[in-house]
Amino acid sequence: MYQEHTLNNGLKIFMVPVHTFQSVSVGVFVRVGSRYETELNAGISHFIEHMLFKGTTNRPNSGLIAEAIEGIGGVSNAYTSQDTTVFYAKVAASQIDIALDFLADLLRHSLFAATDIEKEKLVIGEEISMVFDQPDTWVSILADELLWPSHPLGQNIAGTEDSVNGLEREALLQFFGQSYHPHNLLLALGGAFDPARVIPQLEELLGDWQPAPPPEFAAAPPQQTQPRCVVQHRPNEQGHLCLTLPALSRLDPDRYALSVLNTILGDGMSSRLFLNIREELGLAYAIDSGLNLLQDTGSLVVYAGVDPDGAPAALQAILDELERLRQEPVSERELRRAVEYLKGRTVLGLEDSYSRAAWVAYQAMFQPTIKSPEEVLADYSAISIADVQRVARRLIDPARYNLAAVGPFGRGEPLSRLIIT
């Protein structure tokens, strides 16, 4: 399924050749994100992600950087999460040399020019303001703050206006040097390429890069014992509810059963939340559930966009569905549908050169072994009705509910009373 090579400096390279593709994707996966930060430098990982596209010694401005990949019809981008920062380029297979040189240039030769830093503070400030103005997104940020209070996991990945404005060039370079080196990142390639040709190129581009000790992060806080609720009043036309529960880590053996549970609960238009709360009761326009699995913790998240007047009824219906999962075994039909849904999404998700690279990369970063797609499909098929109910009883506990609400709710007593009894 993949080939692995380690450069002399310890940099690991994972290669997934797929010669039926016409493209090749190259990704740089860094073990750093908002959970590695403090309150004072919140947003620094995300800020560095932006800065790597502002100029290098070889491509001294953002226009030349954009042109390097767009000029050959390719796509390049990056994203930051709580524990990962990723840079990637996807190009026609014949252009792989440019993609490799481009990413190596960002990693090794970024300028961090003082003028660009000051401009980017304004840009990211606008990004933070934009998210605040999107209540369906902002409510999820409030939910993380509620789930992980006074902890880096609960901080906005973009930081705050104060923390971003306080970032100085020296702090950026120090954080960059501590995080971006061969012992804290890996490269992954997927698509139509020859590994024997790629390795010498990467040795030339990155072989003299010096390693360093990987940075550490604060462990997840202790499990909560009381429910929490925050209501932010806004004169919107729609109300937004986000109910979160502490969940499982990427390493937990129950993670596959949890994925099945989540699919039955709220992933897709045949889920319980969609069919019962939107279609049957008409209490929500948008409603779903999702998972966020991290290295030592995770979350199960339910989101609903509702008519403000019907918000208490919608919330009660969500709570009822959670309790039903805990109290009653799911049906054999629901189980099989959820398993086939997950298996199908897994297969379809791999029909792309980047997804092939990311499949191996994320497991290499966070798992002791790398499973093939066939092994994961078998793991899903092995889940039983009893597994789903066991996980439901393990996780679904009203004492661990966290409700964030944004909308014309005033102080939100009808909502908070359903959570904090």
User: What is the chain's mean pLDDT, rounded?
Assistant: 97
Report residue 195 as tokens.
Answer: 């590994």
Query: Beta partners for 187?
Result: 13, 28
pLDDT at 206 over 90: yes
pLDDT at 421: 82
Q: To which CATH superfamily is domain 228-419 assigned?
A: Metalloenzyme, LuxS/M16 peptidase-like (3.30.830.10)
Please compute Rg for the chain using Cα positions: 23
Give the DSSP H/E element, type plus range, for residue 318.
helix 311-327
Which tens digit of pLDDT belongs to each residue from 335-353? 999 999 999 999 999 999 9
DSSP 3-state assignment of 10? Answer: coil
pTM here is 0.96
323 is catalytic: no
pLDDT at 1 over 90: no
Domain extents in the chain: 3-206, 228-419
pLDDT at 148: 97
In whole angstroms, give the CA distance from residue 319 to residue 401: 10
Architecture per CATH, 3-206: 2-Layer Sandwich (3.30)
Q: What residues contact residue 101 under an 8 Å CB cut-off, 6+ apart?
A: 205
CA angle at 41 for the pair 35 and 43, rounded to the nearest 5°: 60
Among 4, 39, 49, 126, the one annotated catalytic: 49
Which tens digit of pLDDT belongs to each residue from 386-396? 999 999 999 99
pLDDT at 362 over 90: yes
Mean pLDDT of 398-406: 98
Q: Which of 156, 147, 220, 153 is nearest to 402 (CA)?
A: 147
Residue type, 117: I
Q: Check if the beta carbon of residue 261 is closer than 8 Å to that of residue 285.
A: no
Residue type, 160: T
* Stronger pLDDT, 49 or 421, i.e. the higher one: 49
Mean pLDDT of 128-149: 97
pLDDT at 306 over 90: yes
pLDDT at 136 over 90: yes
Query: Beta partners for 245?
Result: 300
In whole angstroms, give the CA distance from residue 17 to residue 21: 9
Which tens digit of pLDDT belongs to each residue from 73-126? 999 999 999 999 999 999 999 999 999 999 999 999 999 999 999 999 999 999
Do 3-206 and 228-419 agree at the fold level?
Answer: yes
Strands lying side by side in the sheet with 239-246: 228-233, 402-407, 239-246, 298-306, 286-293
The 10 Å Cβ neighbour count of residue 346 is: 16
Q: Which of 145, 172, 211, 167 is nearest to 11 (CA)?
A: 211
Helix, strand, coil distribution of the chain in percent, nearest 5: 50, 20, 35
